[in-house]
Structure formats: C-alpha cells, structure tokens
Structure 1
Amino acid sequence: MTDTDSSSCVLLLPGWQNSDAAHWQSRWEHLYGYTRVQQHDWQRPLRGDWSIQLQEAVLDSEREVVLVAHSLGCILTAWWAAHSPLALTKVKAALLVAPGDVEHADLRHVLPGWSPVLLQRLPFPSVLVGSQNDPYCSWSRVQQMAQAWGARLVDAGVAGHINTDSGLGDWEAGHALLQQLMKDECHGD
C-alpha cells in the first residue's frame, strides 16, 4: 500500500527515546517508506534542538509534508508550529498520537525545558488520537489538548500509550486515519 496523496511527504516524529523496531511508527517507515525525523539525542531531548531537526526536515522536503507524531513528538509539533512560518506554507496536516503531558510532575522532572505544553491552535488540520488509560497523559488532558490545538479527537479506548506495549502491530486503524486525513486535505484544496 502506498500514500493516497503522492504530493505529500510523510514525516514521522517519534517521542522521547525514539520508536523501537516493533512500534507502529517504525513499521510504517518500513511498510510505506515514510521518513523518520532523526534527533541528535533521543535520551535527553532538547526542545530547541528537536525543533531545528524538524525545521530542517520540512525545509529539505520538496513537497508539502504531513506530520505523524507520537508522544513528545506531539508536543514538539505544537511548539514548532507556533514558531515556524513553514507550518503555514508546507504542512498539509498532522496525525497526533498519544501526546505526553510534559507538565505532569513525573515527566516535567525527566524532560526539563518542555513545559508548559503550548496550547495554541495549529495552523493546519489535525487529528489527535488519545487513549483512556494513557499513563503519560490523562484523558481530560488529551481532550484539552485536542480542543486547544483545533484537532479532531479520536478515542482509541483503552490502548495505553498507543505504542509497542499496546500490541498494535502495524496499527492499520491508525494508518486508515492518516490516509483519510491526507485524502480529505487533498480534496479540500
């Protein structure tokens, strides 16, 4: 299966510690040829450094991009989009999955410099997929983020952090959401 919208480049934005080989993002990278935005330090992420890496990946793309973010990648997307003019001109849409709440006491301590979460409307269409029992973000906080970002909220039910531990495999349902988002934006022009 290939992209339904070949005019867009899909950029994968993993979260803290990267996405392991069994994570749906890694599977999508291999199955569909999507591009992972590489970071200099996956263990001690610096918001500015991660933002520069995203900026350069978007700049390097000859096509419009669709962002597929997981966990800290969602927080990166919101922060970057508020500061980069490219968010208005080169980003077609974003699929945001299981944002990590960096304001939570447990995460604020291990991810310094990422708090507060930027709760500002994204300048591109987005879908946020959240889980009712995500250990890194409460359901009420997921709802708050979706509303602030102007994202359509999709309830994944009881799916943990929507990662390898969730047992999603290739996560076909998530890829269908991405394909629909890309199709809607292609026909919405």
Structure 2
Amino acid sequence: MRYLLVPGRGVPLPGHWMRRFAERAGFSWAPEPPGPPYLPDERVAALAAAVRADDTPAVLVAHSAGCLTVALWAARHTGPIRGALLVTPPEVPPDRIVVPRAPLPFPSILVASRNDPYTTMPGFRALAADWGAELVDAGDVGHLDSATGFGPWPEGERLVARL
C-alpha cells in the first residue's frame, strides 16, 4: 500500500500533520507542496503522474485545496485508488474553480471542522453527500493545520488506517 499526500494551496509548516505523515514509510507527496498560487490543472497533472508512477493501490490523503485536486482528478482520471481522506476542503465560488460534485469512485472520509474559516458545516455536509464520503465531525478544530495546533494528529492516522 502506498499513501499519496495531496497538499493544499500553501506549503505546510514543518510541524504540520502532513509533514509528519510524509516522514513515514510508504507516504509521498503528490505533488511536493509548491505553495501558492493554487493552479488546479497543474495539481491534477502532478497527482495523475504520481498515481501512474506505480500500479500499487494508493490511499490519497488530502488537506484543504488538495481535496479539490482529488475531486478534479477523479472526474478526469482513473487509477488504483483504495480510498481518500479529505480533510477540511474549502468552499470556493464556482467562478473561481468548478469543483466536481459527483460521487468519488472510491471510498472516502471527509473530515469537517465546526469552526473552519473556509467552509461551513452545511458546506461540509453538502460536499460529503455529493462525493459519497463518510462525514467525520472533528469538532472545533479550525482548519486542522499547524496554526490550530495540529502537528501530531493521531485521529488522522486512525482514519487513514480505516481506508
């Protein structure tokens, strides 16, 4: 099994839970966090290349805009994906990015935060329903990033193991 980390718009800080996951065997970036701006087509191409690089089934682990990358990739590509952990996807206006709202072709878990600055709970519920994802309410955890105290994230490790 391999695990592909799909970063959001920014570069995760050194203590970020994704950076910690990247240090573990079997985890790799898809793509290496390039930082802003978020260019959807480039991110999808990088994810497609990472999926194609190996026939071993993969679990996608995405944060923030990385969740949009996963949805866009799934609308355009296929590959040996076992499942996806989608952590705090942002709501974006459709005039900026048209996010596919069809069910993902693999099992997925969407982690929601009650006080995320980029998405409301109704927004998380709608994305989870549209994508066919199990919704996990993580409580008041902000954007589930370094700024909100998520270096180590044991619950995230348990969710990845479920996929």
1:147 is matched with 129
1:35 is matched with 28
CA contact (8 A) 1:69 1:97 kept: yes
Matches within 5 A, 1:1-189: 8-38=1-31, 41-86=34-79, 90-103=80-93, 112=96, 115-181=97-163
Superposition RMSD in Å: 1.6
- Per-residue CA distance 1:36-63 (angstroms, 9 max, x = gap): 1125842112111111100000000231
CA contact (8 A) 1:69 1:94 kept: yes
Rounded to whole Å, the distance in 2 between the matches of 1:138 and 1:132 is 7
Q: Could you list the runs of 5+ residues in structure 2 that have no partner in the other structure?
A: none
CA contact (8 A) 2:74 2:105 kept: yes
Rounded to whole Å, the distance in 2 between the matches of 1:71 and 1:40 is 12
- Residues 1:173 and 1:41: Cα distance change in structure 2 (over 3 Å): closer
**Which one-letter code corresponds to 2:145 in the other structure?**
N
CA contact (8 A) 1:103 1:117 kept: no
- Residues 1:32 and 1:169: Cα distance change in structure 2 (over 3 Å): farther
**Which one-letter code corresponds to 1:99 in the other structure?**
P
CA contact (8 A) 1:39 1:50 kept: no
1:174 to partner: Cα distance = 0.9
Rounded to whole Å, the distance in 2 between the matches of 1:60 and 1:122 is 21
CA contact (8 A) 1:94 1:127 kept: yes
Rounded to whole Å, the distance in 1 between the matches of 2:157 and 2:34 is 27
State TM-score, norm by structure 2: 0.93
SS at 2:23 equivalent: helix
Q: Percent identity?
A: 37
In our comparison, the structure showing a higher alpha carbon Rg is 1
Q: Could you list the runs of 5+ residues in structure 1 that have no partner in the other structure?
A: 1-7, 182-189
**Which one-letter code corresponds to 1:147 in the other structure?**
A
**Which one-letter code corresponds to 1:78 in the other structure?**
A
Q: Which runs of 4+ in 1 moved over 3 A?
A: none
- Per-residue CA distance 1:99-151 (angstroms, 9 max, x = gap): 011228xxx7xxx4xx2221110000000001001001111100000000000
- Per-residue CA distance 1:45-89 (angstroms, 9 max, x = gap): 211111110000000023111000000000110111011022xxx
State TM-score, norm by structure 1: 0.81
The total of aligned residue pairs comes to 163
